[in-house]
Amino acid sequence: MPELNYGRIERITIVLALAGALVTFALTSIRDAGGFLMGALISLGSFRSWVKIAGMLGATEKPPGVASALFLAMRYPAIAVAVYVTIKLLGITPAALGVGLLVSFAAILVELVYGRVSSR
């Protein structure tokens, strides 16, 4: 199993977010580009929180506390509220925001391919 470089994944996410926002702006509108960028920022924040949670769980032998469980339980309603507000108040196309939410996933795939190619 390849080792993931979290710093590189974050940098790839930022590059993909900016490139995607520029492409979205060129093809549609500034509003959709902003929605894509907002989705990418939510995606990056979610990735960072998963890395932080994984680090906390791996650092200790005891089971996670109530605060960790509460954080895990409340993150998705918070993301849902951010998505709803972004779509309703700013009038952004849900597709642009949805594709932006996949940016961290795409960055992880790029990192996996990079790790596979560079290990040869």
Q: Average the pLDDT over each of 33-37, 106-110, 115-119 and give the range with the smallest value.
A: 115-119
In degrees, to the nearest 5, what angle opens at C-alpha 83 toward C-alphas 79 and 86?
135
| 7-34 mean pLDDT | 95
- The answer, yes or no, to whether residue 64 has pLDDT greater than 70, is no
28 compared with 50, residue with greater pLDDT: 28
pLDDT per position as a tens digit, 83-114: 888 888 888 889 999 999 999 999 999 999 99
pLDDT per position as a tens digit, 2-11: 688 999 999 9
| Residues 88, 112: Cα–Cα separation, whole Å | 36
